[in-house]
Every structure is written in C-alpha cells, then in structure tokens.
Amino acid sequence: MFEREAPLGYALVLPAVLYLGVFIAYPFLMSVWMSFSDAQAGNQKWTWTGWANYSKVEAYDVLANSFHVAQFKEKKDAEAFLAARDKATVTAEPAEGGKFKGVLHVAGKDVPVLQLDNDGDASFAVQTILSDFDWSVAKSGTTWDVVAKTKDTPLTLGEFQDRKTMKDAIKNEVLVEADTTIQEKGTGVLQDPNFVRAVKNTFQYTFGTELLKLLIGVPCALLLNRKFAGRRILRGLVVIPWVIPIAISAQGWLWIFDSTYGVINWALVHSHLVSPGQVPNFRGDKDWAMFSLILVNVWRGFPFTAIIILAGLTAIPDEIIERARLDGANAFQRFFYIIAPMVRPILMVSLLFSVIFSFTDFNTIWIITRGGPYDQTQVLSTYAYQLGINAGYLGKGAAISLFMFPIMAVMVLAMLQFLRREV
Amino acid sequence: MGFWHRIRGHVTSWAFLVPFLAFALFPFYWAIITSFKADANLYDLRRNPFWFAKTDAVTHQPYHKDIIVPASYPAAPIHWEIKQGDHTTRSDSEANPKPIARIGDQVVYSPVDGTLSQIEVPEGSTARPVDVIGTIEVENPTVTHYKFLASTPFYRWMQVSLLTGLAVVILTVLIAVPAAYALARLKFHGNRVIGIAIFLTYLIPPTILFIPFSQFVGALHVDNTIWSLILSYPTFTIPFCTWLLMGFFRSVPKEIEERALLDGATRMQMLRLVVIPVVLPGILTAAIFAFTLSFQEYVYGLTFISSTANRTLPVGISVEMVRGDVYFWGPLMASAVLGSLPVVIVYGLSLDYFISGMTTGAVK
C-alpha cells in the first residue's frame, strides 16, 4: 500500500508545492536580497549595499536636556541662587585654543557652562539655558543642585562624524554636569524617526485591537451560545463586518468620522456634550486617528473572535455545565472554572491568527488615515508601501516589510508548538 | 409554565445582543441611508441624519435647486423642453441626457434629480447669463447616486473583481483539492513537513511580499493586467483552502475508500466517484472562501494595477471615487453598497458553509 501511494501523493501535491515555491518562496528570497541592495524603482541593476537600508549612521547629534548649573551644601543657598535667576546675565569669554566660554553670572557667581568655537554660539547657547529652560532645585547626593531642564527642545551641542571625536568634544565643551542624549542621523530605516514611530504604532495598534476584540468578542460568543429563537440569523448578521471587503466598508467609516458632517460629531454636538468648535478631528489629530483605526479594526475583527470562541463553546458538552450548576456553581464560577479553561486552546489559536492579521494590516490604515496626519499613524506595512512603492525606494521598503518577519516567526512558532500538542 | 417564562430566555438573549448587533451593522445602515439621500438633505446639519427629510430646516421649504444659466452663454430667448411639474434627471448620471431648456442654440441640463417646480423665465423671454431661470424641487430619497455610478468605471471594476474571483476559484480548487487529499490521506515521505510548510505560507501575508512581488509581475510582463491578480491571489487562497480541505478529507471514513478499492475501482475512480462527492460541501466552502478572499484583497490590487480601467472594485472605489481631498459621499456610499453585494449574496446563500469554514480554517 505504502509503495503505491507515494508516487500518487507526490504527483498530487506537486502543483501546489511548485506554485507556492515560485510565487511565495521566490518573492520572499527576492525581498531579502532587495533589502540588502540599492534597489530603486526604474533602476534595473541592483548592487549589494550590505546593511545600509537597515542602518547607516552618517552623523551623531548631541542633544543636552539638563544642566546642573550650580551646587550648594545648603538648600537655602541653592534657593537664593534660583531666586536671583531673573537678574542673571550671560557673557562670552575667550578661552584657550581660540575657543569661547559661555559664562552665566548669577547672584555674584560666575559659572562657565559651555565652551564652543565662537563667541556668538557660546553666548546664545547659555542664554537659551537661562531663559528657555525650566530651573529648579533638586537634591543630588549630598549637595543641593540648581538644575536647568527642558522637555521638548533640547539644546543641540553639535554634529559629529564618529563616536570618538564626539566623546572628546563633549568632555571639552560641557563644563558643568549635564545630561546628554545622542541621536543618530543617517539614511538607514533605523535612523528614520518615522520608521521608529511606525514600529511603536504597529504594536500599539495590534495590542489595542486584540484586547478590545477579546473584551467584545467573548461576551458576544457567550450570548450567541445561548439557545434562543433566531440565533442562526443573528450569528449571520454579526459576522457581516468580517465578510465585506474592508476597503469598501472603511469608506462608510470615513463618512462616519467626517469632522463636519460625520454622525459621531453630529451626535456629540446635538446632545450638547461638545460645543461645535471643539468636536474631535478623527483623522486630523494623531491620537484620535489612532483611536479611529483601532475602532475600525475592532469592528471588523470582533466577529471572527466571537465565532471562533463560539465554536469552542459549542464543543463543551451541556452535561458538564449542567452538573456544575447542580453542584451550586454560579454563572461567574462556571465561566472562570469550567468554560474558560475549556475554550482556552481555541481562544489562543484565534488570538494568534488575529494578532497576525492586525500586525500586518494595511487596508484599514491606508484607507482611514493613509498613515497621516504627517506620518503619525504609519505602521510597518503602510510605511513600507509609502517608501517602497510611492517613493520608489524598493530596498528600504523591503527592509521595512521584513521587520515584520521576526515577530511573525515568533507567533508562528507559538502556533506550531500549539498544534503539535493538540493534533 | 406561563408565556412570559417561556420567552424570557429568548428576550433577554436578544436584548443583550442588540448592542453588538448595532455596532456590527451601523456602518452598513449608515452607508445605505446616505446612498439614497439627496445632497441637499445630506449636508443639512440641522436635520436628524438618521432618516430622510423633505424640507429645509431653516426655511421649511422643500429642498430645491435653482437652475442658473452658465456665465459663458450669450443672452437669448429661452425654449423650455419640459413643463412645470415634470420630472428631471441629473445630466451626469445619464448616457444621453435630455436638456430641460434651450437658450438660443445652447442647452441647459438639470443639475439634480427632481421636479421642475417653478419657471422664472417663461417660454420665449430672454435669458441672460447667471440668471435663475427656474427651480427644481429635489427628489429625496433618490437613486441619483446609483445612476451616477454608470458614468464612472464602477461596473468595469466590478467585472474585473468578479472575473478575477472566478479565475482564482478555479485555479485554487484545481491545485488545492489534490494537494489536500494527498496530504490528508496518502502516506509518503515529507507528507507532514509539506503540510506544515503550506500552513506556514498561509501565515506570510501580502504585506510582506508586495514589494518584491511588484517587481516579479513586472518581470513576467503581467503588471497592470488582470493576470497579475490571477497569478498572485492564489498565494493566499491555495494555502488556506488546502488547510481547510485537509480537515474535510480527514473526516471521510477510511472504510468507504477501502471498500471501493476492494471492489476493484482504481484510485482515481474511487476519488472521483466516492471521495469527491462526500467532500463536496468542503470543496464548496473552499470555493466560497477563495472567492471572498480574492474579492477582499487590496494591497496587490493597489500595487500591481495602475490604470483606472483594470482596477479591482475595492481599489477603484477607494482610489478613483475621491478627487483630491473631496469626497463625494453620496456616490461613494452608493458604490460601497453595490460593491458589497456580490460577497453579501455569496455569504447569504452559504451562511453555514461560511461559518464552518471560518472555524475549521482557523482551528483544524
């Protein structure tokens, strides 16, 4: 039997294996090669460029967020120093090597803060610390320090080509204790702030939607599992968002989210919850835009979660639940001690599928926000499209797509582990 | 047991499910009601948007539209082609629109669907540029947005999507059915590995592959044609359907196969006469999914096709029905409603197959 089956078996799977080999494995390998090359739209010959698409640092920006401008033994001395800030002045004084020191004059003390190449830069930088930074007194170790801090606009101390000159320069330039951060500048996607934001958004989008899908899908499945007239029709209706192409149904959501004529804002204004001038701009404000994306994805995905969990619930024999009821278990106990453990395996599978769908989702984001406003809601797939197809940087686009792969691989391994145990 | 006692369970189940149902269906209700509203009603913010209104909220007059002589027309005597009280049809939703009036040798078309309610410049009088020559009472609810779709490539996109879906279904069934049977039933080396590999390819989404794929279809010289879609869509339908069908083949009792073989049938005969009829519901489910998945696809359609005429329906609607930043909500919602119909019909006819496919596809 075994001998006769093998040739037939190979013959029957061959078309599928050939097709998938040509149309999935080949593009996938091509994607890896493109991500290591200078592939661009219209450029026929691609050459190997190593990791340049992933990470290529061309310069380091040194940014300073806070300076300890003075240290005192006593708290009241520090506070007196802080109080004298209004009358403080700044001068630039020549220093050795043709450099200039920016000096802060506060309460009779002269504090050299920075040493820069010319007097204009030195006095400007120190003046910024004096007038634009927030000053406060903080205890640091045994001393009381007067600290000048900023949240959003750190002072740029310079751009450097390599790490060593940068370190030396910081040592020579900054004359007080200071917190500095180093920002890489370059042409790789890792140096692209939009890419970093896309990674963050992808996770936020995925976890936000999955949590909500469970919170809505589980109760929905429990209700659909009850026996009542019209159950089949209701189940059919709940699944509709999953059936309609999202690119089409998202047009309806666009209209619902419209800031002038949309129904949500109409309801908010007419119920006097929000005044007409302050209605949310669902697609123009970055937080509302992310909220809108999550809402649409949850709307589309919760039926899937509910139906899969429902399948798990239907598989639980009625007698088990009935016996628990007779034994005096209330509805919550029955849910947490009997139903939940029994649907857990199926729930995990649906969750993994759902996570993969959300993590690699393109359609919802592309139609609702197109990654906007100003790339604030880009996720990996949309940013790959933006850079790879719209801007023509095929290599970078491929690199961004491939960033999804390791995470996908982890999910898939988890799923395989699971299947091995179950099947 | 009293009546109330008997129906209480049903009523509470419904009551608790209503919020879920409302959430799931509201966008469709909203798209449908929008698609039938005249623009005048659609943008009247003082009116309750959940239903139709006949009159303007401020003037309490029926919604109307003035007919204005284009500024480029010369002043000339007017000749009315229709009478007061006659119905008019918006010119851009007609293939051969009928003029409502002539001014000299120029023609005037109706700006909106409705009824000619008032004539300001009577027959034979001189009509000057930017004069208001009459008023049309707007028809509401109206099918004007649906008629407008005829002037767009909407039906062409529908054709592309349906044709692609059909071709993909055939290709998928031809490749996935034999593969699924072999993987589920026949013993050969690598059987399990191939099964898992096919499952893994199902998990590689189009969003990882679309950039190299766009170059690949270019190299095959099928970019911008329907063939690029027919060749690429099976990358997700074949793995899914193979996986789905393996579950169905496994559920066929081995004994009926063995008996057929013992009765002297060849394996191919046995497959054709015994196994395939038994798993027909499974094949139908696979076909339904292959069709739905290809109808829903967006990234490949967006990336591979650049000419308006060859777009698929979801891409066409989302890319071409919006001009710059201007959304024409009426026609857009009409196209969304009509565009959903093919999958809604398939779904409605195969509700149970569809839901069993959703669960087996994910679980088995």
Q: Kindly provide the ipTM of the predicted complex, given to two decimals.
A: 0.88
**pLDDT of A296-344, one tens digit each?**
999 999 999 999 889 888 888 888 888 888 888 888 888 888 888 888 8
Q: Are both B175 and B320 inside the same structural domain?
A: yes
User: Cα(A147)–Cα(A109) distance, rounded to whole angstroms?
Assistant: 15
| Residue of A28, A20, A144, A26 lying closest to A82 (CA atoms) | A144
Beta-carbon separation of A349 and B175 below 8 A: no
Report whether pLDDT(B50) > 70. Answer: yes
Average pLDDT for B151-176:
95
Q: In angstroms, what separates the C-alpha of A408 from chain B's closest C-alpha?
A: 8
- Other C-beta atoms closer than 10 Å to the C-beta of A405 total 16
Domain around B227: 152-363
Buried b (16+ CB within 10 A) or exposed e, B11-45: eebbeebeebeebbeebbebbebbbbbbbbbbebe
**pLDDT of A399-419, one tens digit each?**
999 989 888 888 778 777 776
Cα angle for residues B218, B222, B226 (degrees, 5° grid): 135
Q: In angstroms, what separates the C-alpha of A36 from chain B's closest C-alpha?
A: 13
Query: Using CA of residue A176, residue A181, residue A182, residue A185, what is the dihedral sign?
Result: negative
DSSP 3-state of A106: strand
| Residue of A251, A208, A190 lying closest to A399 (CA atoms) | A190
Q: Is residue B81 part of a domain?
A: yes
Cα angle for residues B248, B249, B251 (degrees, 5° grid): 65
pLDDT-based confidence at residue A294 (cuts at 50, 70, 90): very high
Q: Are both B127 and B191 inside the same structural domain?
A: no
Average pLDDT for B162-188:
93
Beta-carbon separation of A404 and B298 below 8 A: no
All residues at 6 or more sequence positions from A73 whose CB lies less than 8 Å from its CB, including other chains: A142, A143, A144
All residues at 6 or more sequence positions from B121 whose CB lies less than 8 Å from its CB, including other chains: B78, B127, B131, B133, B134
User: What pLDDT does residue A366 have?
Assistant: 94
Q: Are both B170 and B313 inside the same structural domain?
A: yes
**Bridge partners of residue A59, in order along the sequence:** A185
**Final residue in a domain of this structure, among B140, B167, B201:** B140
Residues of A in contact with B358 (CB under 8 A): 239, 242, 304, 307-308
Alpha-carbon dihedral B142, B145, B147, B153, rounded to 10 degrees: -170
**Final residue in a domain of this structure, among B77, B107, B140:** B140
B161, B202, B208: best to mutate for the A interface, most A CBs within 10 A: B208
Query: Using CA of residue B92, residue B94, residue B95, residue B98, what is the dihedral sign?
Result: negative
Report whether pLDDT(B364) > 70. Answer: no
Q: In angstroms, what separates the C-alpha of A127 from chain B's closest C-alpha?
A: 45
- CATH number, domain of B299, equals 1.10.3720.10
User: What pLDDT does residue A422 have?
Assistant: 56
**Lowest-confidence range among A98-112, A199-213, B163-177, B329-343?**
A98-112
User: What pLDDT does residue B161 have?
Assistant: 95
Q: Are both B228 and B300 inside the same structural domain?
A: yes
Query: Using CA of residue B67, residue B73, residue B76, residue B80, what is the dihedral sign?
Result: negative
Q: Are both B136 and B172 inside the same structural domain?
A: no
Q: Are both B218 and B100 inside the same structural domain?
A: no
Question: Mean pLDDT in chain A?
Answer: 86
Q: Is residue B336 part of a domain?
A: yes
User: What pLDDT does residue B361 have?
Assistant: 65
Residue A130 CB-half CA count within 13 A: 25
**Final residue in a domain of this structure, among B117, B140, B163:** B140
* Most distant pair of Cα atoms in chain A: their distance: 101
Q: Is residue B100 part of a domain?
A: yes
Type of residue at B33: I
**pLDDT of A53-94, one tens digit each?**
888 888 888 888 888 888 888 888 888 888 888 888 888 888
Residues of A in contact with B345 (CB under 8 A): none
User: Cα(B305)–Cα(B299) distance, rounded to whole angstroms?
Assistant: 10
Residues of A in contact with B242 (CB under 8 A): 16
Q: For chain A, what's the residue count?
A: 423
- What percent of chain A has pLDDT above 70? 98
Report whether pLDDT(A1) > 60. Answer: no
More confident residue, A157 or B295: B295
Identify the helix (H) or strand (E) that includes residue A277. none
Q: Is residue B33 part of a domain?
A: no
Q: In angstroms, what separates the C-alpha of B298 from chain A's closest C-alpha?
A: 7
Nearest to B175 among A1, A16, A242 (CB): A16
* Total number of domains in chain B: 2
Q: Are both B75 and B178 inside the same structural domain?
A: no
Nearest to A245 among B200, B208, B314 (CB): B314
**Bridge partners of residue B132, in order along the sequence:** B68
Report whether pLDDT(B214) > 50. Answer: yes
Report whether pLDDT(A2) > 60. Answer: no
Q: Are both B183 and B240 inside the same structural domain?
A: yes
pLDDT-based confidence at residue B324 (cuts at 50, 70, 90): low
Helix B234-250 with B276-296: angle, nearest 10 deg: 150
Identify the helix (H) or strand (E) that includes residue B188. none
Q: In angstroms, what separates the C-alpha of B288 from chain A's closest C-alpha?
A: 11
| Residue of B235, B226, B236 lying closest to B161 (CA atoms) | B226
Q: Are both B224 and B345 inside the same structural domain?
A: yes
Q: Are both B134 and B156 inside the same structural domain?
A: no
Q: Are both B224 and B120 inside the same structural domain?
A: no
Nearest to A19 among B214, B234, B340 (CB): B234
B211, B254, B294, B355: best to mutate for the A interface, most A CBs within 10 A: B211
Q: In angstroms, what separates the C-alpha of B15 from chain A's closest C-alpha?
A: 10
Beta-carbon separation of B211 and A398 below 8 A: yes
Residues of B in contact with A355 (CB under 8 A): none
User: What pLDDT does residue A423 have?
Assistant: 47
CA B251 to chain centre: 35
Question: What does A350-418 look like in DSSP terms, one character per residue?
Answer: HHHHHHHHHHT--HHHHHHTTT-STTTT--HHHHHHIIIIIS--HHHHHHHHHHHHHHHHHHHHHHHHH
Report whether pLDDT(A348) > 90. Answer: no
CA A230 to chain centre: 42
Q: Is residue B226 part of a domain?
A: yes
User: Cα(B300)–Cα(B206) distance, rounded to whole angstroms?
Assistant: 7
Residues of A in contact with B13 (CB under 8 A): 223, 226, 228, 231
Nearest to B27 among A256, A258, A353 (CB): A256
All residues at 6 or more sequence positions from A42 whose CB lies less than 8 Å from its CB, including other chains: A392
| Residue of B89, B77, B76 lying closest to B116 (CA atoms) | B89
Contact by Cβ (8 Å): A158, A125 = no
Nearest to A405 among B178, B208, B359 (CB): B208
Nearest residue of A to residue B350, measured between CA atoms: A236
| Residue of B247, B341, B31, B213 lying closest to A28 (CA atoms) | B213
User: What pLDDT does residue A384 have?
Assistant: 93
DSSP 3-state of B152: coil
Q: Is residue B235 part of a domain?
A: yes
User: Cα(B171)–Cα(B165) distance, rounded to whole angstroms?
Assistant: 10
Nearest residue of A to residue B175, measured between CA atoms: A16
User: What pLDDT does residue A334 have?
Assistant: 85
Residues of B in contact with A224 (CB under 8 A): 17
Report whether pLDDT(A383) > 90. Answer: yes
Q: Are both B77 and B162 inside the same structural domain?
A: no
CA B186 to chain centre: 40
Residues of A in contact with B298 (CB under 8 A): 245-247, 362-363, 366
Decide the pairing of beta strands B106-108 and A100-106.
unpaired
CA B339 to chain centre: 2
Beta-carbon separation of A236 and B355 below 8 A: yes
User: Cα(B191)–Cα(A89) distance, rounded to whole angstroms?
Assistant: 81
Beta-carbon separation of B239 and A20 below 8 A: yes
Nearest residue of B to residue A246, measured between CA atoms: B296
Residues of A in contact with B327 (CB under 8 A): 254-255, 258
